[in-house]
Structure 1
C-alpha cells in the first residue's frame, strides 16, 4: 500500500492524458497500438505519454482482480479498527505492516469513530477470527476491532476521469 505522504503537485491532465487513463482503466492490458489508435496519437507518442503517467503517479499500477472465493478465501470482511492513545508510532507500524499480511486486500486510514478499515479475505470464519486476534487486536495501541462480513462485493464501473 502506498504511503499517503505529501506528494508533489501533478501537472493537470490534458485531453490525451485523460483518454489514455480512461482506456487503461477499462482494460490495463490494452496494447500500445490500440491505446494510440483510440487516443488518436502516434504509437511512439503513446509510449512516452503512458510512461509519463506512470512516473507522475497518475497510473499507480496495473494488476489482476482476483476472486478470493476462487483461490480458497471465500470469507470476506471489512474490519473497523480503533486505536487508543493515538501514538504516531502505533499508526506508522500498523500502516507499514498490516497491508503485507496474508489475506489483506486493502487498508484505509479514515476519519471518524474508527481509525482504519481493513478489507480481509479468509479461508473460514475461524481463520477470520484468528486473523483479528493474532494480527489486529494484539497490535500496540489497538483498542477495538469490529468485523462486518461481506455478503456481496460490487466493483464500481464508473471512471475517475
Structure 2
C-alpha cells in the first residue's frame, strides 16, 4: 500500500489473522507480544491501509452442494484495455466464477468456477462464457481433488528474506 512500511509486529499480526481471523484482539495481542490497545490500533491501521481487505469464512464447497470445480482458460479476440476491463466486469457478474486472473502467455484469463453439478456448469459454459462478447476460446479442466489451498501469503518466507538483508 502507498507509503506504508510494515514492521515485524505488523507482519506477525497479519500472519496470525491470516491463519485465524476470528481470534479476539486480546488473544491476537498475546500472540504478537504487545498489549491489546496498540494491537487494535495496528489492526485498524492495517485495515484502513488496505493490507487487510476483509474477513471471510473458509467454507466447504462440496459440503454446501457445489460438487464441481473447474478451471477455465479463456482467450479473447482483442486485448485492448477496454475489452479486458469489459471481460473482467462480466466475470464479476457471474456467480459461478469465484476467481478471475489475467495472465500473460497462451491464454488471457484463467477462471476458477464452482457449480452444483456438471449440467449447471455446462449450461454456464455454453450460454454465458463461450457466448460472451470477445471470447474466442475456452479450455476447461475439471478439478479431481485439491492437494493444497492455503490463503494469503507465506509470511515466514518474507521474515527470512528480511533477516538476510539486515
Common fold by TM > 0.5: yes
How many angstroms does 1:159 deviate by? 4.5
* Contact kept in structure 1, 2:25 and 2:40, CA below 8 Å: yes
Change (3 A) 1:158 1:139: closer
Aligned to 1:47: 40
The runs of at least 4 aligned residues of structure 1 exceeding 4 Å deviation read none
Aligned to 1:144: 137
What does 1:98-117 align with in structure 2 at a 5 Å threshold? Answer: 98-117=91-110
Counterpart secondary structure, 2:107: coil
* Contact kept in structure 1, 2:74 and 2:107, CA below 8 Å: yes
Structure 1 unpaired stretches of 5+:
1-7
Distance (whole Å) between structure 2 residues aligned to residue 45 and residue 64 of structure 1: 26
Is 1:16 the counterpart of 2:47 in the alignment? no
Structure 2 unpaired stretches of 5+:
156-166
* Contact kept in structure 2, 1:53 and 1:59, CA below 8 Å: yes
Distance (whole Å) between structure 1 residues aligned to residue 80 and residue 45 of structure 2: 38
How many angstroms does 1:98 deviate by? 0.9
Distance (whole Å) between structure 2 residues aligned to residue 62 and residue 69 of structure 1: 21
RMSD after superposition: 1.7
Aligned to 1:5: none
Residue deviations 1:30-87, cap 9 Å, x none?
1100011111112111111001111111111110112221121101100000001223
TM-score by length of 2: 0.86
Aligned to 1:58: 51
